[in-house]
Structure 1
């Protein structure tokens, strides 16, 4: 399974935007406020399949976006996950972690109480992330 290209369009209510190297979407589960998924534009199944010269710039972008999300949402930590077990296309889960979240001190999965945001919360989070991603 791969990401459908249609999710990377403005008519997708979860689409945040794009950078030079990747697309960013808000995760449906917002148990961790600001949780997002970053998908490189260069479609590849995994990190080791990228050309050597492409790894550094992409990882820098992942770190920059994570740093901005952490700051914007006042997270205590950021978790980064690139698993590829379900979606065989390179992507990262950018997961802000908070000392008061139900899984603090443990991995972010399984989520004990998944939370779908209201439309207003979703739009607010997307606008906040768009604002900080524009700094990159």
Structure 2
């Protein structure tokens, strides 16, 4: 017999340099890492019910002109970041994720999604009956 066990996976949106994601993004990022003009992106990191990271959902890259620690929702002069976050959140919600709160940063939204895990019920083996004993 199989039964469904309800477990949850979690996702949190983080901000990272786009050059750290792929070789293509690295080509787009400036050669001088000390420069104030780099590309950033929002990513959704997914953790399974066992706490291991299972997936990464990448948003669109956008240029930044400030240190990522100084970026806030009011920094409209950092072109594309608001639209990138809106697109990523929309994609996450279309995939069935439910908003579960916020992290410490203005962009670090948290989501949960139920994962059905099928388990076999364990039964004691029936006693063997031997004829004539």
Fold match by TM threshold 0.5: no
| Range of TM-score over shorter length | 0.3 to 0.5
Give 1 or 2 for the bigger CA radius of gyration.
2
- The structure richer in strand per residue is 2
Length-normalised TM-score, structure 1: 0.35
Length-normalised TM-score, structure 2: 0.36
- The structure richer in helix per residue is 1
